Amino acid sequence: MPITARLDVATPGHRYPILIGPGLLAEGEAWGGLPAARHAVVVSNTTVHPLHGAALEGRVAHAGYAEVHRVLLPDGEAHKDWSALQSIFDHLLSCGCDRKTVLFALGGGVVGDLAGFAAATYMRGVRFVQVPTTLLAQVDSSVGGKTGINHPLGKNMIGAFHQPVRVVIDLDTLSTLPTREYVSGLAEVIKYGPIADASFLDWIEANLGALLARDGAALAHAVRRSCEIKAAVVGADERESGLRAILNFGHTFGHAIEAALGYGAWLHGEAVASGMVLAARLSSELGLVPPAFVDRLERLLARAGLPVQAPALPFDEWMRHMRVDKKAEGGELRFVVIERIGSAALRTAPDALVQRVVERHGGAALPRPAAAA
């Protein structure tokens, strides 16, 4: 099947394509012109590799790599840590991989972040290709070069900026995604409307049923528009010195939820969905958007099957985790807020106001079991 969309990410030091379409794991056009090397290393996990690993490894071997290696990681956010990263380094070194080695990240955001961080640091930097198989990774984490691992005290606090040489998005991989994982990814799609494109938010509301049904045309549009927005933001601010922070709408609260409950108790998109509601309510309390917008966003997330109430955490627990957020400066919290639908900014907020928001609008919702479908 042909590539249905090609977008370019252009930063001051890099330019690379995002290729989108159904069946791209089997489409030769998507794999031509890759960097030449003897060694290629497919990094995946024990859930994704049995589904798509053989197709990718066959395509990589056909692209001319003499040795195609495989590193399989345990599945889940709980394993986005030093141990998993070390297992990638162990394999690279034991196989004699050199500076021309190309890594291929096959999986969701955890695999992409780990493989990317390994690529950023092995021999001070080797090239890698993102092959995202989850909706969340396709619309967010595979694009933009953020790589890293979690620390018990904070999510994604250890990492590096390292751009891929290509992103290949095979939309057909979404058919194998469990419902809970797929719905979690919708949170990152929905995010782009409030922060950058009011008409896209309208479109998501009108087409949510098709998205939930994994309709091919709806998915192609949602993934393409999400990637267009992210590519534009990354191109203007590669290293998150300003504008790029708007992509973290809901993430300050969401990352705190993930860290407080234990990584994997709530999926990333679930925590972000709850965090977006809190961030929208904070925006309203600051007088930036009317309460009706908050209600609108909450209804949309609830229709998608995402949590809209935060877990009931003590306020000091919220603050302990949010103070290590990367957007904090000098110990002062900064939140991504909505100034108007389609436009976001970074703002500070008094602790008392933040406390009022989380205590009024955080609920007693319990985390869903990690094994839920």
**Would you please indicate which residues are annotated as catalytic (active-site) residues?**
124, 146, 188, 230, 240, 244, 248, 251, 255, 268
Q: Could you give the CA distance from residue 268 to residue 135 in angstroms, rounded to a whole number?
A: 12
Q: Could you give the CA distance from residue 30 to residue 26 in angstroms, rounded to a whole number?
A: 9
Q: Do 225 and 254 contact (CB within 8 A), yes or no?
A: no
Q: Do 161 and 137 contact (CB within 8 A), yes or no?
A: no
Query: How many CB atoms sit inside 10 A of residue 203's CB?
Result: 17
Q: Report CA dihedral (14, 154, 180, 373) to the nearest 10 degrees.
A: 130
Amino acid found at 146:
K
Q: Do 129 and 145 contact (CB within 8 A), yes or no?
A: no
Nearest to 198 by CA among 274, 272, 289: 289
Q: Could you give the CA distance from residue 312 to residue 358 in angstroms, rounded to a whole number?
A: 8
Residues 6+ away with beta carbon under 8 Å from 300: 190, 201, 204, 205, 208
Which residues is 6 bridged to in the sheet? 19
Cα 90 to chain centroid, rounded: 26
Residue that has been written with the tokens 């500070």 in this structure: 348
Q: Could you give the CA distance from residue 216 to residue 222 in angstroms, rounded to a whole number?
A: 10
Q: Could you give the CA distance from residue 18 to residue 31 in angstroms, rounded to a whole number?
A: 12
Q: What does the block give as tokens for 273?
A: 């969905």
Q: Could you give the CA distance from residue 141 to residue 135 in angstroms, rounded to a whole number?
A: 10
Q: What angle do CA 347, 352, 355 make, to 5 degrees?
A: 90
DSSP of 284-326: HHTTSS-HHHHHHHHHHHHHTT---SB----HHHHHHHHTTST
